[in-house]
Amino acid sequence: MADSAAGKAVAECTRPGADVSDSVAALKSLLTGSVPEGEERRSHHLVQLARRYGTTPFTTLREARRELGVTRPEFAELLRTFGAVPALREAVRQAPAGKYWTNTVLPLEARGVLDAALEGRPVYPSSVGLYPGPSCMFRCHFCVRVTGAKYEMSTLEGGNAMLASVIDEVPTDNPFAVYMSGGLEPLTNPAVGTLVARAAARGFKITMYTNSFALTEQTLNRQPGLWDLNGVRTSLYGLNDEEYEATTGKKGSFRRVKANLLRFMKLRTEQDRSVKLGLNYLILPGRARRLLDLVDYMEELSAVNPDRPLDFLNLRQDYSGRDDGQLSGSDRSELRDALAGFEEAVRDRLPTLDVDYGYALNSMRCGVEANLLRTTTEQMRPRAHPQVAVQLDLLGDVYLYREAGFPDLPGATRYIAGRVGPGRSLYQVVDEFVSERREVAPQSGDEYFLDGFDQVITARLNQLEDDLADGWGPARGFLR
């Protein structure tokens, strides 16, 4: 078998329905000369490893070795051989759960920040979330925000100056290191455009997460710096007035947001702006079959200028309100069917749309029953991971988890690493928290402060820590 054909067969070993025996045979042909020809057992184990880590990426090496039933020396040789075969690595990256590796784990490994977190070594955070919004006009039922909680308008001047100082401080080696979100709605800050322009001038490609209720032409005229955004990611809370009002508690919000997006598309073309426009859509219980209506909605937006259609969609499923965080069998079946119809419609009607299905949905569309990570209180790490990501609000408080950065949220202040202010930089806050080895003892319910990203980082760090404790050193984490 030619090496290219064999490599392709091996790389496809994690594909649902793949013939494992074919993959094993292909791998044996690739390994001829490095292991005894015809050694079926070893090739079979390597394919098993690829399939295991391609569907359950946070498996510890201790667990993987136990499943294979091999000795430590045998397992060490398997890991060495796995690393020497690019097709095996590619098989994991292309697997149903490959997005965990390609979107999050491997890029962070490359920056060394996961090692810094494990070693308790202070480094500048790889990701800095700025939460500039003093308030929000919505009351979404799934949001952890305390109803009516907001920042006093008197905090804006000092808060914006502090956020500007952080923008000036962030190293420029990663253009995507800074994003704007909340917390509360960023567009309620009358100076957010100035902050965006400041960040763009330093080379940062800022994405703003917004509900777009205030993304009006008047706002864009008052804050021209918003056109310096790299992307506007609009959270979509329904596809008609009734759904929007049921979710946000605000009448007329659907019509206004849709009008704002249509006008934004027109203005973007008229002014030849490069900013990308995309949507974030959460599939709420009972609404899976609304995905075709979502295609209609996106097609209507794109019709404003067929040569410059909607850029991207981030599609996610909702786990709120489920104690175990999992879907029922009927929900899974409905969602799987709906995804198939959705994909076909997008291919036919919105061929340039970049759709990000996230972690669990990507596995589901590949035909694998993958569950979204669900961190428990016991799995939370007392020192968190400020080397990887932090979030700042208008007061300068540095939050360790993304869902903790809401004013008046019970228990959230325990996850403040420190406060940025005059004469005190973000790096100083992180340095002191890490160097002094401060810890936050997790309490019941604190796991809800972790969003999907925080849960992935927590799972990865726990995996790496177990691998190190089991003596695997450089092999920790399987793929590096």
Chain-centroid distance, C-alpha 157: 31
Contact 57, 97 (CB under 8 A): yes
Read off φ and ψ for residue 328, nearest 5 degrees.
-75, 165
354 with 389, same domain?
no
pLDDT over threshold 70, residue 121: yes
pLDDT over threshold 90, residue 283: no
129 with 249, same domain?
yes
3-class DSSP state for residue 313?
Answer: strand
Q: What pLDDT score does 36 carry?
A: 53
38 assigned to some structural domain = yes
pLDDT over threshold 80, residue 105: yes
List, in sequence order, the alpha helices (H) in 149-233.
156-169, 192-201, 217-222
3-class DSSP state for residue 236?
Answer: strand
15 assigned to some structural domain = yes
Q: Which pairs with CB-CB distance under 8 Å and at least 24 residues apart come from 411-417?
A: 411/443, 411/445, 411/446, 411/449, 412/449, 414/440, 414/446, 415/384, 415/440, 415/446, 415/449, 417/384, 417/386, 417/390
Cα(80)–Cα(91) distance, integer angstroms: 16
Cα(68)–Cα(55) distance, integer angstroms: 16
Q: What pLDDT score does 144 carry?
A: 63
Mean pLDDT to the nearest integer, 172-186: 96
108 assigned to some structural domain = no
pLDDT over threshold 50, residue 339: yes
273 with 198, same domain?
yes
Confidence of residue 38 (pLDDT cuts 50, 70, 90): very low
* Percent of the chain residues topping a pLDDT of 90: 74
Q: What pLDDT score does 25 carry?
A: 86
Of 60, 95, 130, which closes a domain? 95
pLDDT digits (tens, 9 = 90+) for 360-379: 788 777 777 656 788 999 99
384 with 373, same domain?
no
Mean pLDDT to the nearest integer, 155-163: 97
Confidence of residue 307 (pLDDT cuts 50, 70, 90): very high
Confidence of residue 359 (pLDDT cuts 50, 70, 90): confident
pLDDT over threshold 90, residue 269: yes
- How confident is the prediction for the chain on average, in pLDDT? 91
Q: Name the residue with higher pLDDT: 371 or 427.
A: 427
Mean pLDDT to the nearest integer, 171-193: 96
Of 377, 402, 419, which closes a domain? 377
236 with 333, same domain?
yes
Nearest to 86 by CA among 11, 26, 18, 12: 11
Q: What pLDDT score does 333 carry?
A: 79
Confidence of residue 3 (pLDDT cuts 50, 70, 90): low
Which residues does 152 contact at the CB level (< 8 Å), separation at least 6? 134
Neighbours of 470 (CB within 10 A): 16
Confidence of residue 211 (pLDDT cuts 50, 70, 90): very high
Q: Name the residue with higher pLDDT: 19 or 369.
A: 19
426 with 446, same domain?
yes
Strand (E) or helix (H) holding 457: helix 452-469
Which residues does 341 contact at the CB level (< 8 Å), separation at least 6? 291, 292
Q: What pLDDT score does 322 carry?
A: 47
Contact 317, 283 (CB under 8 A): yes
242 with 338, same domain?
yes
Structural domain boundaries, residue 67: 3-95
146 with 170, same domain?
yes
Q: Name the residue with higher pLDDT: 227 or 330.
A: 227
The string of DSSP codes covering 318-341 is --TT-TT----HHHHHHHHHHHHH
Least confident of 38-52, 113-127, 249-263: 38-52
102 assigned to some structural domain = no
Least confident of 102-116, 367-381, 415-429: 367-381
363 with 391, same domain?
no
Q: What pLDDT score does 110 carry?
A: 96
Which residues does 147 contact at the CB level (< 8 Å), separation at least 6? 139
112 assigned to some structural domain = no
Least confident of 83-87, 126-130, 341-345, 368-372: 368-372
113 assigned to some structural domain = no
Q: Name the residue with higher pLDDT: 139 or 27.
A: 27
Into how many domains does the chain fold? 3
293 with 205, same domain?
yes
Cα(370)–Cα(357) distance, integer angstroms: 13
76 with 137, same domain?
no
Least confident of 40-44, 106-110, 121-125, 401-405: 40-44
3-class DSSP state for residue 233?
Answer: strand
pLDDT digits (tens, 9 = 90+) for 133-155: 999 888 776 666 666 789 999 99
3-class DSSP state for residue 407?
Answer: coil
pLDDT over threshold 60, residue 86: yes
42 assigned to some structural domain = yes
Nearest to 290 by CA among 241, 361, 339, 244: 339
Would you give the DSSP letter of residue 371? P
Of 377, 412, 427, which closes a domain? 377
Read off φ and ψ for residue 226, nearest 5 degrees.
-65, -25
Phi/psi-derived region of residue 203, left when phi > 0, alpha when psi is between -120 and 50, beta in every other case:
left
Contact 212, 219 (CB under 8 A): no
3-class DSSP state for residue 65?
Answer: helix
For position 208, which CATH number holds? Answer: 3.20.20.70
pLDDT digits (tens, 9 = 90+) for 434-443: 999 999 999 9
109 assigned to some structural domain = no
CA dihedral angle for residue 261, residue 262, residue 267, residue 270, rounded to 10 degrees: 150
* Complete edge-to-edge strand list for the sheet that includes strand 416-419: 354-356, 312-317, 276-283, 231-236, 207-210, 178-180, 127-130, 389-392, 397-399, 416-419
159 with 218, same domain?
yes
